[in-house]
Amino acid sequence: MMTSHLFLFTIGPVQSFIAQARKTRDLYAGSRILSELVHEAIRAFEEVFSSGKVIFPFLPTGGVLSLPNRLVAKVTADESELRGKAEQIQRAVEQHWQALAEEALKKAGVSTKPAGFDEQIKALPDIHWVFIPLSESDYAQAYLRLERLGGAVKNIRPFAQMEETGRKCSIDGVNNALFCSWRSTPAYIKNPTRIRGFRLSAGEALSAVSLTKRFYPLEDGNFPSTAEVALMYDEAQLTAEEKQRLECFRKLFDREKVAEACIEMLTNGYKEKVKLINPREEEDWNDEFDYQMLFEENLNEKNIPNQTQRELLQDLLAPLKKRLQTRYYALVLFDGDRMGKWLSGENNQSRGDLEEFHRVLSKALDKFTRAAREHLNRENGNGQVIYAGGDDFLGFVNIHHLFGVMKHLRTEFDRVVNQSIAGYKKEGQHLTFSAGVVIAHYKTPLSEVLEKARKVEKAAKKEGDRNAFGIAVMKHSGETQEAVYKWDRDEKSPSGCSNWEALECVYRALNKGSGNFSHTFIQNLTTEMLGLTGRDLRNLPPGDEREAIGEGIRLEIQRLVDRSWKNPKKKAQEEITELSDKVSQLWEQVPRDSDHRPRHFVHALHIADFLTRKTTQS
């Protein structure tokens, strides 16, 4: 008997699969692989359910870069066929994953699979699917039951038993390591497969899953490293002659272009004498360029074992060192607020049109992710999107562009998404997002930066009560500072950025090139706050005493900002008033229920000061 059903098909694990990364290409490849598997699930669904209709996600024509990890669709079929058809879709996804793994082996130059390879690949991905009967007028209720049952199925968490002993993978920490670099063999690996070239670091040991990510084919053969993101602004400021020298530097990592680079060095006067060699005959010639090589400390024997290559690179880099100094970048993570309420129809005018709303929302979210990619990318020199699917976003941002990029994403999300669903939502309801922003040194382990980003995003949702941002700095010294604020003075505003702009105002005012204020007011305010609250910078005393202290702080801000003006011969009261107002705003706008109001305030000022120092070349 032919009946209608709602179908949910999910692929995981999402967070761990993407986040298990040592290099940015691992991170990006993880997100791309999951999107590719979802795309394969949709293709297989349309093949086995020819009359079925995909509701979520929206699948546009053209390339698919990011998709959420779930498929929701309507199907009409004989109940006895449902399981078999779902299993067909599952097999198609599993076979595609196996094909990706085997293609990665070829790219790594491995002709024979090592023992345990297939077992590790078959342990992933985690696939779950559910069907719920659907009547013509029952979409909303059926969707709620589908979500509940889908969650219950996931909680069962079946797993395959695998007995593995020995060295674990450097990336996932779970599977046995099967592969290592040709340059060294880490301890406790039995009969490892050695990978030629420099794609694997000397001490790395990878499982089958991690090797698949490391050798996943990228559009232009690479993905920006944290060092490249950090240096994007600096590189854009180079003169034409300096860019030519930099290009010559890069050619020394391309075995086919080394002779060309040597001739350029002689022709352009970079060196008086160059010994021509054939790098194809030099096994230790590093052919994996990374922007971290533009920092002198990385041109060492470990990274560049070939002495001739190392000396040529050092000579080329010498005049560029002072121009390429930014060592910090930002990782941005955000997702939609209260998405469960939006998808259940609780924030809608009528739940009767929930199916149509899902289609409209899915299309709007896809449009936003494409707009985000158009704005944030290597070509624009401001960063690179890692993942943008549905209401989830993960990306790298160059810190010189951080304030502008975040404002753009915030206002674009409102313009694209809220305007698209305007006819469905209740009056006064807006879809917003909460963000976690982490500024980190390019050498800080990527897993630690991702973990911190998730924590500050959760703080934005909890302490900021959503529609908020958390921002943190992970200094190379190990010190961490973080603060949480609503995006705007108007807590419900879907696009306002007045609190973010207040932080930006402090950043601009302290700029060594164009700012007119010293950071002494921040140091003095910090000292006074510590005196009032103690080392933990917890809240002020309750009641009338707190209000009196708060008023005193506002007056002190005005006094200290005025004193920090750097040019006594040319005092601009308008600038002084603006900065004191913005600093006072940051004091007043700390989330009301926060137990650490002074800490958020003080850390916000120090973060602005830190960003100023790291984006101003000496």
pLDDT in tens, 25-65: 999 999 999 999 999 999 999 999 999 999 999 987 666 67
89 contacts: CB under 8 Å, gap ≥ 6: 9, 41, 44, 45, 48, 129
Report the 10 Å Cβ neighbour count for 431: 24
Q: How many helices (H) and strands (E) does the chain have?
A: 20, 13
Report the 10 Å Cβ neighbour count for 541: 12
Kindly state the average pLDDT of the residues 124-139: 90
pLDDT of residue 596: 81
What is the per-residue burial (b if ≥16 Cβ within 10 Å, else e) of 349-369?
A: eeeebbbebbbbbbbbbbbbb
Kindly state the average pLDDT of the residues 438-458: 97
Phi, psi of 391 (to 5 degrees): -95, 5
pLDDT of residue 187: 82
pLDDT of residue 202: 87
Asked if the model's pLDDT at residue 236 lies above 70, the reply is yes
Identify the band that residue 594 occupies on the pLDDT scale cut at 50, 70 and 90.
confident
Kindly state the average pLDDT of the residues 104-133: 95
Identify the band that residue 538 occupies on the pLDDT scale cut at 50, 70 and 90.
confident
pLDDT in tens, 323-357: 999 999 999 999 999 999 999 999 988 767 899 99
What whole-number distance in Å separates Cα of residue 145 and Cα of residue 133?
10
Kindly state the average pLDDT of the residues 109-114: 95
Asked if the model's pLDDT at residue 20 lies above 80, the reply is yes
pLDDT of residue 592: 77
Q: Which of 213-222, 259-268, 447-456 shows the lowest mean pLDDT across its residues?
A: 213-222
pLDDT of residue 221: 67
Kindly state the average pLDDT of the residues 525-553: 79
Percent of the chain having pLDDT more than 70? 95
Kindly state the average pLDDT of the residues 219-232: 90
More confident residue, 468 or 185: 468
pLDDT of residue 463: 93
pLDDT of residue 282: 85
Report the 10 Å Cβ neighbour count for 206: 29
570 contacts: CB under 8 Å, gap ≥ 6: none
pLDDT of residue 157: 58
Tokens matching residue 125: 């991905």
pLDDT in tens, 389-429: 888 999 999 999 999 999 999 999 999 999 999 999 999 99
pLDDT in tens, 139-174: 999 999 998 888 876 666 555 555 666 889 999 999
Positive or negative: CA dihedral 231, 236, 238, 240: positive
pLDDT in tens, 57-79: 998 766 667 889 999 999 999 99
pLDDT of residue 160: 58
Percent of the chain having pLDDT more than 90? 77
Pairing of strands 193-195, 179-181: parallel
pLDDT of residue 220: 63
pLDDT of residue 515: 82
Q: How far is C-alpha 46 from the geometric centre of its chain's CA atoms?
A: 32
254 contacts: CB under 8 Å, gap ≥ 6: 287, 289
pLDDT of residue 617: 65
